[in-house]
Copies of this chain bind each other. A is one copy, B any other.
């Protein structure tokens, strides 16, 4: 059960002019479920993406990067679940290319105009006969209103499909942004992976789109963690079809640029938070806000030191205000000149620590009250600058171990 996240209403997911989606049951790992997706874009769509930093990156990530170096004039994405096509060497790259070749033949475009994505178990090869059989099925049912189906088709151990939409006005024209993703963040449930796809019909220059995907990723998918493992397949793609018909957004600083970036960020953050809410075994959704740091980077380090500490995460699972563990994690963030005497730690609205120790006003029952909630704010003030960062994470429960110990069996 995700923490306060329900299956989205399919009607709430707004079609994006210029985008169609088709799914198929390719029986890649299990029968009886859709496990392939083709997302097709009309000509003129601009696409950009950010990918995993893992050096053992998956074959589809290698292929995406090389195709995007060749052209941004992308006409389709092809996604499979059930097999990550990672740790598969040269044969894996050939399989990813063959997949895009088949899609390009079906859609009548160049092979480099189709980007491949995979998610699932590592170090197994794609079942190419089933993948190739699934492609015509996906293409045959391409439709604009399949975002919900698409969100379901890319799930691995996700317990709910994840999708979000926004509509805004730009130069008087209605602009839609709709996105889907699968979980579960940095943890990569079972080494399946984080995949996120957002499309809009906004009219934007390519460099603007490139900037927007980086800001959205920084504030959303790069700001979540379940257990600190970065997967081999992480990919986040932003596509703009240009069908909204407004004057092109060409640079930063305009109201329209800001409005579109904000709406894209909102969709990305909603999707990223959904991954944490549906993190493996999660029973708590935890927001970690660090402010008054010297740099965003040091704030992120402190936030992630807290978010990655198994001792902090198990204390949240137990609703135990064992808050010295948070101080220890802050001290362990790798910031050499951090002065504990200046730091304030708040849990929700309760001041827990100041002057290097427990706050005089702190009472255990106040900490206990906050810890019992399903959603918890950890707020650390470093008192040494003006920068800040926010990270979302979840607790570490028995079910986390169970899910990951049982995987594959």
A residues with CB within 8 A of B = 53-57, 84, 86-92, 121-124, 187-188, 190-191, 227-232, 308-311, 314-315, 317-318, 320, 322-325, 327-333, 335-336, 338-341, 353, 355-358, 396-398, 400-402, 404-409
A-B contact sample (7 more), CB < 8 A, given A91-B357, A315-B407: A86-B324, A89-B357, A191-B328, A227-B310, A227-B311, A229-B309, A318-B406
Q: Is B57 a contact of A331 with CB atoms below 8 Å?
A: yes
Residues of B within 8 A of A320 (CB): 405, 407-409
Interface centre among A54, A123, A397 (most CB of B within 10 A): A123
Q: Is A357 a contact of B92 with CB atoms below 8 Å?
A: yes
Contact of A328 among B86, B228, B353, B405 (CB under 8 A): B86
For A309, the closest partner residue in chain B by CB is B229
- Complex Cα distance, B358 from A124, in Å, reads 8
Residues of B within 8 A of A55 (CB): 330-333, 335-336, 338-340
Q: Is B229 a contact of A314 with CB atoms below 8 Å?
A: no
Q: Is B407 a contact of A322 with CB atoms below 8 Å?
A: yes
Residues of B within 8 A of A309 (CB): 229
For A396, the closest partner residue in chain B by CB is B401
Q: Is B325 a contact of A122 with CB atoms below 8 Å?
A: yes
Residues of B within 8 A of A314 (CB): 400-401, 404-405
- Complex Cα distance, B89 from A299, in Å, reads 23
A-B contacts, 28 of them at CB < 8 A, read A54-B332, A55-B330, A55-B338, A56-B327, A56-B330, A56-B332, A84-B324, A86-B327, A87-B356, A89-B341, A89-B358, A90-B355, A122-B322, A122-B328, A123-B324, A123-B353, A123-B358, A187-B311, A227-B310, A228-B310, A232-B328, A310-B310, A310-B400, A317-B405, A318-B405, A320-B405, A322-B407, A398-B402
Residues of B within 8 A of A92 (CB): 356-357
Residues of B within 8 A of A322 (CB): 121-122, 191, 407-408
- Complex Cα distance, B228 from A308, in Å, reads 9
- Complex Cα distance, B400 from A125, in Å, reads 34
Q: Is A229 a contact of B311 with CB atoms below 8 Å?
A: yes
Shortest beta-carbon distance from A298 to chain B in Å? 12
For A324, the closest partner residue in chain B by CB is B122
Please list the 7 inter-chain residue pairs (A to B) with the smallest Cβ-Cβ separation, ordered nearest first.
A122-B324, A56-B331, A89-B357, A123-B324, A318-B405, A314-B404, A55-B331
Q: Is B402 a contact of A328 with CB atoms below 8 Å?
A: no
- Complex Cα distance, B121 from A128, in Å, reads 55
Shortest beta-carbon distance from A222 to chain B in Å? 14
Residues of B within 8 A of A311 (CB): 187-188, 190-191, 227, 229, 404
- Complex Cα distance, B401 from A251, in Å, reads 50
- Complex Cα distance, B404 from A309, in Å, reads 12
Shortest beta-carbon distance from A398 to chain B in Å? 5
